[in-house]
Structure 1
């Protein structure tokens, strides 16, 4: 990713400090590229960012808009965090007043510093009328331009003069009205005379008007017509017609009421409204393309939106999915059931002298969201960057190398809290790399964190 990435250094202390006017300037066209990086120190050393620490950024834009957002961690041990302005935020151009905070899970909070930066309004985002400019290199060129304009003016005057000469042939309004009235009077008299004739002046025959095809038979009498008109057996009511017109013209199920079988290779998003079933891994755009189970689908469509709901499978899993009004599929969302919430805890095989600490047994599990949780404590092993403490099995490993800060024993250091740094590699190897307790670094090490697997 490419960013405009200025870095701001803040030292957290209680000394008087005024708001910093930074030299940071973004543009309203810096969409998803306006990034501010904060380097935090306290007492001269980097401020570690743990899972219990949250960087919060408050911004007040020039138009009065306010945003209170979470930052992201770039370097946890180095105290480096960052925030990328959203496409909506970058449109609020002008001076931005901001303040950075650090919040902890135990309720403590720190105000880091106030600062300001600029968002410049890009030219493409302004209403600018184009201006046509003319450039004349010398006097002779200017003279030629003026002469050309004069020739055009003379031609226009000549055309106007010719049109004015034709005005003598234009009749006045009163004269034209008099002629029109005379024509109208003559036409009316002729029409009235023709309409008064009863001798069929045009010699129209019954064949010409279609009367030759009409049978000269007796028609129904008025009582007979009334009797037919009131016959409700032969005629339908308005309510009956409405009921028939509103009836379903498309079968939602098979004739016997069962769901319709989906053919292999069918795109689920192309189905009309109805109830269906099919094997998940043989259907395009199914919620679980790797499952060989039978899925039941409820599909509801209209002219603008399609909603697809999976109501059951061979296992207790449930999904729903929608197609937006713009035609794009928004993906499947899975319902979490009580069975999904239950997890199975496992214990790893400890290596290099590490053993369980008391009753706080080291265990790990994975929930329905794909998150692995590691808890418990170990003691007595070797601390080192390349010394494995234990290895997590396949399916319980992080998608990238992770570092965690945890609680360590303070034995031998008085009451000063101690901490350790633990690394989990992508192959599942867990290394207790270092401990702040230099007296008894392996008295006990405590784990308590989560991470997402692939």
Structure 2
């Protein structure tokens, strides 16, 4: 049989586990070929699957469908089980949330892990809408699903009943229009009657309207007022007012909008807010006082709080510095860039019979944070507390003596994992001190660790 057969490895323990995305993607056209294999371990060794053990898989599909199914055994001693999605299940496209369990006939149960995978809708299935399905193979789970569905139905019925009750209080469109037309007609008749009265029905006096406070002087004519209103020299437009209000209280740049050149021997920390540039070794308190190159400086001062914040840039390097309220300069802090993150790998000279293992070359590097990383594999040399395999150069040596436990060959030692203990001394010497494989101790020694360089 042909399968899409991804493998998922789970270790059963009591540590905090979060649902993992397995990066598994099937298609709605993977009919009887969508197979998931699970490798189970407990305390670092395979979990045996006996006849009294049952692997159970619960799946919740994106459309709400739920399935609780039995898995099948692939390797009982190796703890390997699998499940092949049915043609009906593979039609439920979208993200599938799942959890694996191990049940025993004596009533014990183990929760293994939550995980998720994807089912992609194939182009040929774009018009097919799967029907939500529920398959449960034990009564308690079936009972829970039925109760959940019954509760949802009761909620829908309650909402419909409220809507029907509200319908009794709704007036028809025609009835509401008649009432509105009548109210409009009555209001218009009253307004017309009141407006036609010229006998001052409300008995308003000139004092009430403020005419007694008006000076009897000549006012500007309509033409004079219009001429003044259209005078754009005297008046400011809304756009001009916004530009005025948003203008700088003092100059942050040169008149052309560019950065201001810092005069030689100027203290960077005494400049007002603004954008500047200058040669680093000619500016006092620059982050690199010996650098003969142009730097860009952004200065921001807060006079009320007596603080200064400065950023300095020399592509692609960048620094950040501050003066706090106590008036002391806290020094420059360098930002790490993508260029700083790039490392150079070097290979050491192997000693005492050790050779590179195939294409897994032993290499070391140091990043911008001062962390040394060693990777690769070696074979065939002498193991011992005083027999170095290679020596790291100065600048790549640990602050204090450190140890690393790594993977070793299992040849001649059965299927049990093997390991070695390696010491890295402060003089850079790397010793393969011991190996758990007594039959072939130097067959395969691999590295993959970091430490802080001195």
TM-score category (smaller protein): 0.3 to 0.5
* TM-score, reference length from structure 1: 0.42
